[in-house]
Amino acid sequence: MSVDIKKIGVVGAGQMGGGIAQVCAVAGYDVYLIDQTDEAVSKGLEALSANMDRDVARGRLDEEARNAAAGRIATGTAYDGFKDCQLVIEAASEDEEVKKAILKELCAVLPEDALISTNTSSISITRLAAQTDRPGKVCGMHFMNPVPRMELVELIRGIATEEETYATVRSLADSLGKKAVNAEDFPAFIVNRILLPMINEAIYTLYEGVGSVNAIDTAMKLGTHHPMGPLELADFIGLDTCLAIMHVLHDGLADTKYRPCPLLVKYVEAGWLGRKTGRGFYDYSGDEPVPTR
């Protein structure tokens, strides 16, 4: 039986979860957005509101639609608010154990016909779905960052995902104004299978002294017309996320070409995770980002 989606739950009020909540609310769905603490929820809601205000200022959204969307978003820290959701999208950090724990908590409160999606950018949907009481109703739904601006959503079936689940999630993606592509359940799917090794190679290029941060990013922006250089993009994604995805590729495909660059490991160990911590391959403490190497 097809699920009629009216209310969507989102776990994680960070950059990805907040963006997913925003596009769902703008598309007319009621949304329940949670995070671990009131502070994290407030911070996420603040960023979401600022993004919608920016969209109004740039003419992408009118004031009335913005206010209506804001009114559709409820927030909290408790899972109880998911009990009347037809779909919940997990958008927590890219850590398999964290995601598995969230999925188990979700199953305890969700109606038995409710669907679960995960915004994982690299982890096996089959493995995550196996932690639930409804593997047939689990489907990967990997949004790109920033969610409101990027058109693509990768849809990934696990081995047990039912056709009806996939069709419902695909229909949802269409209703959000996104273009969906199907990706098979292999480590990192399509986009990150290609993108992260490129970023990792750029970090090796820096590590081996082939070019400076500025030279590498300028070369890729001007030489290939990429809007951001790979090191700037790594900072934007978060170096901890980049490293997590490289570990998934390296562990899952057992190929040395996916070995994370030691310099990436060192930056993560130092807590230099990119824009979110104010320092990565660039220092963001001043008016303009300054290369750290």
The enclosing domain of 156 has a CATH number of: 3.40.50.720
Choosing from 121, 122, 124, 200, which is the catalytic residue? 121
Which structural domain range is residue 208 located in? 191-291
Digit-coded pLDDT (tens) for 129-167 = 999 999 999 999 999 999 999 999 999 999 999 999 999
Among the listed residues 90, 154, 200, 232, the single catalytic one is 154
Tell me the pLDDT band of 1, cut-offs 50, 70 and 90: low
| 52-105 confidence digits (pLDDT tens) | 999 999 999 999 999 999 999 999 999 999 999 999 999 998 899 999 999 999
Active site residue 192: yes
Rounded Cα distance, 136 and 167, in Å? 12
Look at residue 2 in the predicted model and tell me its pLDDT.
64
Which entry of 119, 192, 200, 232 is annotated as an active-site residue? 192
* Residue 94, in any domain of the structure: yes
In this predicted model, what pLDDT tens digit does every residue of 184-215 receive, in sequence order?
Answer: 999 999 999 999 999 999 999 999 999 999 99
Considering 90, 122, 124, 142, which one is annotated as catalytic?
142
Quick one: pLDDT at residue 3? 77
Cis ω for the linkage preceding 197 (within 30 of 0): no
- Tell me the one-letter amino acid at 271: G
Examine residue 208 and state whether it is found in any structural domain, yes or no.
yes
* HSE-up of residue 68 (Cα within 13 Å, Cβ side): 11
Shared domain check, 166 and 195: no
Question: How confident is the model over 160-177, as a mean pLDDT?
Answer: 97
On whether the pTM is more than 0.75, the answer is yes
CA–CA gap between residue 15 and residue 147 (Å, rounded): 8
pLDDT above 90 for 42: yes
| Whether residues 139 and 54 fall in one domain | yes
* Catalytic residue flag (residue 212): no
- Residue found under tokens 């949004």: 143
* Residue 175 is among the residues annotated as catalytic for this protein: no
Is the pLDDT assigned to residue 173 strictly greater than 90? yes
Q: For this structure, is 171 an active site residue?
A: no
H-helix segments, 60-212: 63-71, 96-109, 125-129, 163-175, 191-207
Q: Among residues 183, 208, 231, which one ends one of the domains?
A: 183
